[in-house]
Amino acid sequence: MRKFTGARTIAAMFGLPLVALAIVFFVVPTAQGLTVDYNDVAAGTTMLLFLSVAMAIMAYVLVAGRSNE
């Protein structure tokens, strides 16, 4: 079994699920035709996308800066 130890891999494991959540958060109300204000959906999606990028950068910095002892 391969270990996922690369900084980019770990950052992707933190960021990609949140990006997927943001996409689902946008697609579900739009596809079902719910009466949700479009600005609320767009604001939530934008927040989740920026959160996922911030989490991925944070994970990358923390893993890249650790010592290899």
**In this model, does residue 24 exceed pLDDT 80?**
yes
Q: What is the pTM of this model?
A: 0.62
* Contact indicator for 22, 56 with CB cutoff of 8 Å: no
pLDDT of residue 36: 67
Report the C-alpha gap between 39 and 58 in whole angstroms: 28
* H-run or E-run covering 58: helix 38-64
* Segments making up each domain of the chain, as ranges: 7-64
pLDDT of residue 43: 81
**In this model, does residue 14 exceed pLDDT 80?**
no
What average pLDDT does range 19-26 have in this prediction? Answer: 81
Mean pLDDT for all residues in the chain: 76
How many residues in total does the chain contain? 69
